Amino acid sequence: MKIETRVGLIQADDNRFLGRSVCEELYPTVTDLGELWGRALGLTFADPLDREALRLCALATTSPDARVWPLKLSRLLSSAGEPVAGYIGAQLLNSSRLMGPGVGRGCAEALCFVADREEALGLEGALLAWKERSGGRMMGFGVPLRPTDERLRALWGWVEVSPLSARPWWQRGLRVAEVGRRVFGAEPNIALGLAALMLDAGLPADRCGLAIGLFTGPAFLAHAIEAAATDGALRELSSAWIDDRCAPARARGEALRDPSPPAFRRAPPPWGAGLDGAGPGAPTPGGGASAARSP
């Protein structure tokens, strides 16, 4: 079984990475770690401005508050003393569509969707079409806790004085921000700026989430390292820190007094509930007990 790879090769006198010699081509030209990460994402850096785009994205996403949920996860997983567990384990959350990288990807996809339909629907119509398609959620809008997103304000300021501001997706992002603010009644957030910069740099929309995962990596790493040394107390919290809403003590054979939470309930069998009125194909409402239980 053969599979072609374009990623890399170890040779006796050199290594090759994404079509280039590490010693002969990358060593004299790569000026920072970000460029290797950018190449891994698929950027070619044909335009030197792409390096600046990555740099600004990384700075704008440096929001490393320990109470940001994925970062707290990094600390929890590191609290036994192994930072690798927190640094890598917590980043499995990067596949979430709820926060972080998933939002960036969704926002990039939204920008592409809007671009494809703006001519036919107008910008406002295209935005509304995306909102409808995404179930009412417009990624790139909404700023909790403060009136506007300080990260986006900073990014706008940085880009405004840079040639990056002339790039097409950035310009579109500014227009989307302006119209979206009115249409959605919500302020734009950092995801909008990041998505525009990354699309301008040539990243496909479906890699923008991975890119944001890369940009936020330093915060995960720093928290993981610190927590491995300091957060041992989190390994076991006393019951004083726990609000006990569990089912009260009961005897085996005695049903729950309250229905189990919805996530634990059972559905009727696919062939229809209680056709024969017995057996496990006819679960009682709320996952409740039937007469005969295991001993």
Partner 1 sequence: MRHAGLFDALPFASRLTAAVIQPGPLPRIFGLSVGLDLAGQVPFHAQVWLSLTGELPTPDEAEAFSWALSLLSALHIGRCPTHAAGLARLAGASDAMLPAIAAVGLGQWGEAEQALFTAVGDWMAGRSGPPAAAIEPAPDAEVEASQERLSAATLRWFGPAGALPARPLLRPEAAAAWLLLGLGIQDAARLQIIALWARLPATLAEALCQRPGAVLQHPGRLPDYVYVEDR
Q: Which residues bind partner 1 (CB under 8 A)?
A: 1-9, 16, 19, 65, 67-68, 82, 84-85, 89, 92, 145-146, 237, 239, 241-252, 255-256, 259-261, 263-272, 275-276, 278-281, 283, 286-290, 292-295
Q: Of the two residues 28 and 270, which places its CB atom closer to partner 1 in the complex?
A: 270
- Shortest distance, position 6 Cβ to partner 1, whole Å: 6
The tokens for 232 are 């041992």
Rg, Å, the chain Cα set = 25
- Shortest distance, position 85 Cβ to partner 1, whole Å: 7
Assess contact for 163 and 49: CB atoms under 8 A.
yes
Q: Of the two residues 217 and 287, which places its CB atom closer to partner 1 in the complex?
A: 287
- Shortest distance, position 253 Cβ to partner 1, whole Å: 8
Amino acid at residue number 54: L
Contacts of 282 by beta carbon, 8 Å cutoff, 6+ apart: 268, 269, 273, 274, 275, 276
Count the neighbouring beta carbons within 10 Å of the beta carbon of residue 97. Answer: 14
- Shortest distance, position 271 Cβ to partner 1, whole Å: 5
Contacts of 80 by beta carbon, 8 Å cutoff, 6+ apart: 228, 232, 235
Q: Of the two residues 171 and 290, which places its CB atom closer to partner 1 in the complex?
A: 290
- Shortest distance, position 200 Cβ to partner 1, whole Å: 23
Q: Of the two residues 29 and 171, which places its CB atom closer to partner 1 in the complex?
A: 29
User: Which ranges constitute the DSSP H helices of 18-165?
Assistant: 27-29, 33-41, 49-60, 69-78, 83-90, 101-133, 150-160
Q: Of the two residues 11 and 171, which places its CB atom closer to partner 1 in the complex?
A: 11
